[in-house]
Chain A
Amino acid sequence: MVNYPSRSLDSTFAALADPTRRAILARLARGPTSVTKLARPFDISLPAVSKHLRVLEHAGLIHREKEGRIHRCRFIAGPMKDAALWIERYRRFWEGQLEALAEYLEKSNKKEKP
């Protein structure tokens, strides 16, 4: 497993804290495309989309390149896998917490019974 330094982790998470950027990432995770095609479903200007793409590129989540006059983007899996790992880590933590709560409530129920 590749370890990303925490500075890049911060920019990954900042990049993910926007629903438009998440939607862009979800689209790119399905396959690479041009910026024009990418912008189509969003009700925002092309410069606004470009701004989001710059944030995503800075976070290492996508790669942008020019093919003549076409700007293409593709998804880079690594940082998202780290984000997914965080979610799994927290899921395990909270499953444990809820299990502890269930046991505690059961124990105190038993004590309350005459």
Chain B
Amino acid sequence: MANANAKIETKLQLKRTFAAKRERVFRAWTEPAELRQWFAPSDEYSIPIAEVDLRVGGKYRFGMKPPGSDVPYVAFGTYREVRVPEKLVFTWSWENPDSDVGETLITVEFRDLGGSTDVTFTHELFPDEKSRDDHNKGWSGCLDRLAKIL
């Protein structure tokens, strides 16, 4: 793989325009009733789990069940940033992976084009240890302060 232009890719990014207003698209990503309508690899899947606690530090769970299976694939994570209706940042992990990359980081940005919306979707498969450590430090700091108040 000796390659003059070698880059170590650790994330993927997709961009897509949706023919709907930004608030509508943002709701589709964040309201359980909406998510149950689309958040699965195909029409044959059912979406038995869609739990959302939409705030920084809040958790979500999405379960997608393939046809003919009793067991859903369940993804879960924590919201790191919630900026209605422009941006979502959340961690992403699978509850029962066979093998997997571990905790990853997703960013969804919504740009208003009037009647339609530009979405930029980024999945960082190998988020930097440092940002993970900083986040953990931030949280333990918050919890320490909270414990002192209570």
A residues with CB within 8 A of B:
6, 9-10, 13-14, 16-19, 22-23, 25-26, 29-31, 75, 77, 80-81, 83-84, 86-87, 90-91, 93-98, 100-106, 108-109
Contact = CB atoms under 8 A, between A and B. Distances in A.
Contact of A87 (B11, B18, B130): B11
A91 B104 CA distance: 14
B14 A98 contact: yes
Interface residues of B, number: 38
Given A101-B18, A105-B28, A18 B41 contact: no
10 contacts: A13-B126, A16-B10, A22-B10, A26-B8, A29-B6, A29-B8, A30-B4, A100-B40, A102-B18, A104-B38
Interface string B13-44: 01010111000110010000000011111100
A90 B19 contact: no
Given A13-B126, A98-B121, 4 more contacts: A87-B9, A100-B38, A101-B28, A105-B18
B142 interface: no
Contacts of B38: 97, 100-101, 103-104
B52 interface: no
| Nearest 3 pairs of A and B residues by beta carbon | A29-B6, A104-B38, A77-B1
Contacts of A26: 6-8
B1 A80 contact: yes
A17 B14 contact: no
A93 B128 CA distance: 23
